[in-house]
Amino acid sequence: MNLLEKILGIGRAVAETAGQTTGATGTGAADPSNVEPVSPIASILVTVLPMVLLFAVFYFMLIRPQKKKDKQVQEMLNNLTVGDRVCTIGGIYGTITQVKDDQFVLTVGNQNMTMNVARWAIRSKEDVSIENDAEALN
């Protein structure tokens, strides 16, 4: 702890602040000639260090996981092909029948109705599990 106080001058800053507050009340006034000045680098470090630490915490707790999730979603959207079963952000389940540049054509429902859906509107790719051969996917 002594090394940290020497490097950052925290001990002197605390002593100087304590001397000023006790001098204002009139009890135990410190002699200003005995207090060494705080280095400007130490005061900048004490000011900036908490902000840097806060940014680091936000980065590792919020920003980095969101970027990872966005990358996985983009990879899933790029890997969709004809025949994949998907769910849209509106909750519509369908099967991809055609892939265009920025949209898909889905077949939906028992009558195999088609709908055009934007690529960004696909929420997830569903795992198709058919328990009965007569079960309709759409």
> Quick one: pLDDT at residue 132?
44
Does residue 71 share a domain with residue 7?
A: yes
Residues 12, 55, single domain; the answer is: yes
Tokens linked to 14: 């605390």
Identify the pLDDT of residue 8. Answer: 57
Helix, strand, or coil (residue 98): strand
Write down the mean pLDDT value for the chain.
80
What are 40's two structure tokens? 């400007």
Residue 119 corresponds to which tokens in the numbers above?
A: 């690529």
Q: How many domains does the chain have?
A: 2
pLDDT tops 70 at residue 12:
no
Exposure b/e, 58-69, CB count within 10 A at least 16 = b = eeeeeeeeeeee
Q: What is the CATH number of the domain that holds 87?
A: 2.30.30.30
Range of the domain at 59: 2-77
If you ran DSSP here, which 8-state letter would residue 96 be given?
A: E
Is 131 contained in some domain?
no
Residue 44 in this model has a pLDDT that exceeds 90: no
Q: What is the pLDDT, as a whole number, of residue 114? A: 95
- pLDDT attached to residue 101: 87
- Using pLDDT thresholds of 50, 70 and 90, give the confidence band for residue 125: very high
Q: Is residue 58 part of a domain?
A: yes
Work out the average pLDDT over 73-78.
Answer: 94
Q: Is 72's pLDDT higher than 50? A: yes
The arithmetic mean of pLDDT across residues 54-67, rounded, is 94
Phi, psi of 83 (to 5 degrees): 100, -10
pLDDT of residue 38: 75
Residue 135 lies in a domain: no
Helix then strand then coil, in percent of the chain rounded to 5, is 50, 20, 30
Q: Is the pLDDT assigned to residue 13 strictly greater than 70?
A: no
Q: What's the confidence (pLDDT) of residue 70?
A: 95
